[in-house]
A = this chain, B = another copy of it.
């Protein structure tokens, strides 16, 4: 029997620096704008929301940013994360392709999110902050920040999209086990929430609304800062430990990826595995195919417009240039809650615009079919988000079979699906739908994009 091979780095090889793609880009991404003045944002504009150390990372163009020793110490609990060669899956697919996956589900919260949650909690702690507000969709980010907050004695308050709050009680239980407070959004605790509930008492919420609530709390209270789990430059930066480790592990395996695949919601998981490889390419290294996979029901990269937009529904955030479906776009319900965001990280949008990456959208049922096949071969049950990358890898491997060519495929398995088993239950019961958004809704949301002079 061909068996899965594990490539594990020694602890000393946890990266000592985060890698900043900004340093190697042929052109910088367009700057974020102040929503009132439409002028480029300065660091001070963000000071109510973030500690200055994170703001400086947000605007840094340094290639390497040192990872503080206490953050590396905490990383050691689960890092370096394993890289696997999926030989049992290769065999089941009868493909000449070699399939590798980096597995981030080994973190205590079960996904890649603690890579940045720990860093953000550390910098907030260093700045004397005792409370952080944030939002969460599926709950991966909320539980990761809850975990990190517990380590640094920081109170964490999580606005959880109401439909997830109701449908995913166990993610909420996880956050509460870590000591965080979890609030269904929209809530009566903020102006944004109250206004929405006054108009729509039955609102089931959205990530855009939850962001508005969390931002409002942080902006209006001196003792509270805000934390975001994706999209922003500094969040993507922290995830680059993933790709840096994967590069070393591919070397250990004596191999080199021809194709790199990751799912994209806000972009941090994708950036984590891709940016270090892309940086090497931009510095004159080998060119690889890089594929971002997104859900067909929320396809910012494949159907969105590359334009300035708000990051939230309440329009409290700066304007950022990104691939967006419009901040009023509400995607239909599907299980990969971490991919239900109307926009995309500005940095990921920028490299898409530069033609450095491809993007592809998949429907819900086909990604679960791929996830089940993966679980039966490899033993790990992927999160619904990760199933998008699994499907991408399987499709590329089958293409190799068709072409009679062996290519090396690397994808990021960003988390396990232990808290998402309802999705698998629905899949087996034939209850998963491939419901798409209404074309008219998307057109209306795009028509409502803020007008920003070029």
Give A contacts to B, CB under 8 Å: 1, 3-6, 8, 11, 70, 73-74, 76-77, 84, 88, 106, 108-110, 147, 150-152, 169-170, 172-174, 176-179, 372, 375-381, 416, 418-419, 421-422, 424-425, 428
Contact = CB atoms under 8 A, between A and B. Distances in A.
A366 to B, nearest CB: 16
A381 B174 contact: yes
B376 A174 contact: no
A416 to B, nearest CB: 8
Contacts of A418: 110, 170, 416, 418-419
Given A8-B11, A106-B106, 12 more contacts: A1-B70, A1-B151, A1-B152, A8-B8, A77-B379, A108-B379, A150-B377, A173-B425, A174-B381, A177-B376, A177-B421, A418-B419
A126 to B, nearest CB: 12
B428 A176 contact: yes
19 contacts: A3-B73, A3-B74, A3-B76, A3-B77, A5-B76, A6-B77, A77-B379, A88-B151, A147-B379, A170-B418, A170-B422, A172-B425, A173-B421, A173-B425, A174-B381, A174-B421, A174-B424, A177-B381, A178-B376
Nearest to A418: B418
A110 B416 CA distance: 11
A60 B34 CA distance: 76
Contacts of A8: 8, 11
A178 B375 contact: yes
A422 B376 CA distance: 26
Contacts of A375: 150, 177-178
Contacts of A88: 151
A171 to B, nearest CB: 8
A5 B73 CA distance: 8
Given A1-B70, A151-B379, A424 B177 contact: yes
A407 B11 CA distance: 27
A48 to B, nearest CB: 27
Copies of the chain in the assembly: 2
Contacts of A170: 418, 421-422, 425
Contacts of A106: 106
Nearest to A374: B177
Nearest to A1: B70
A376 B150 contact: yes
Contacts of A379: 77, 108-109, 147, 150-151, 178
A106 B110 CA distance: 11
A368 to B, nearest CB: 10
A415 B403 CA distance: 43
Nearest to A371: B177
A6 B424 contact: no
A380 B178 CA distance: 9
A424 B177 CA distance: 7
A178 B373 CA distance: 9
A65 B177 CA distance: 42
A362 to B, nearest CB: 19
Contacts of A381: 108, 174, 177
Contacts of A377: 150
A375 B1 CA distance: 38
Contact of A4 (B77, B109, B174): B77
A280 B5 CA distance: 33
Contacts of A11: 6, 8
A177 B398 CA distance: 22
Nearest to A84: B77
B6 A76 contact: yes
A375 to B, nearest CB: 5
Contacts of A76: 3-6
A84 to B, nearest CB: 7
Nearest to A146: B376
For the complex of A and B, 6 pairs with smallest distance between CB atoms: A108-B379, A170-B421, A418-B418, A173-B421, A3-B73, A173-B425
